[in-house]
């Protein structure tokens, strides 16, 4: 299974999503903002990034954009999760490089199916 980076500033949401992923056997690293995310990315290889949009310091859209601009992270699967559901924001997320956009509240089965689809579609390496 690929390492997953979960970027979420809401502690309850972070714990809930992490719990879903860990139960499925994924190794999950967490960051509460873009700065922490970029620090982790410089140290650990990730196959999937799950990011909220509304983050302190750096928005989720900036995180997506930066991931796509860096050679080492341009091919990871990116899932944006947000309560923001207006079409303009969703379109911008996709234009910046998001692979999927899930609206909060997150449904566990939808999240897991989305991750599996990204792993298959992007041929993401399994980390042992």
- 110 belongs to a structural domain: yes
Position 70 in a domain: yes
Model pTM score: 0.94
* pLDDT at res. 38: 92
Looking at residue 126, its pLDDT comes to: 59
Q: Does residue 125 lie within any of the structural domains?
A: no
Residue 67 within any structural domain of the chain: yes
Q: Is the residue at 66 inside a domain? A: yes
Model pLDDT, residue 128 = 45
The CATH number given to whatever domain includes residue 41 is 3.40.50.2300
Structural domains in the chain (count): 1
Contact of 6 with 28, CB cutoff 8 Å: yes
Which structural domain range is residue 63 located in?
4-119
Does the residue 127 lie in any domain?
no
Count the helix, strand and coil residues of the chain and give each as a percent rounded to the nearest 5: 45, 20, 40
Residue 128 domain-assigned (yes or no): no
Enumerate helices (H) and strands (E) in the chain, giving the number of each.
5, 5
Which segments in the chain show pLDDT lower than 50? Answer: 128
């Amino acid at each position: 299974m690929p390492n997953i980076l979960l970027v979420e500033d809401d502690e309850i949401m972070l714990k809930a999503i992490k719990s879903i992923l860990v139960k499925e056997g994924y190794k999950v690293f967490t960051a509460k903002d873009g700065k922490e995310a970029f620090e982790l990315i410089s140290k650990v290889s990730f196959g999937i990034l799950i990011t909220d949009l509304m983050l302190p310091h750096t928005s989720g859209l900036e995180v997506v954009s930066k991931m796509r601009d860096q050679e080492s992270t341009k091919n990871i699967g990116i899932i944006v999760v947000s309560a923001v559901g207006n079409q303009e924001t969703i379109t911008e997320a996709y234009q910046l490089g998001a692979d999927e956009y899930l609206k909060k509240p997150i449904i566990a089965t939808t999240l897991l199916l989305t991750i599996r689809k990204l792993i298959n579609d992007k041929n993401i390496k399994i980390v042992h």
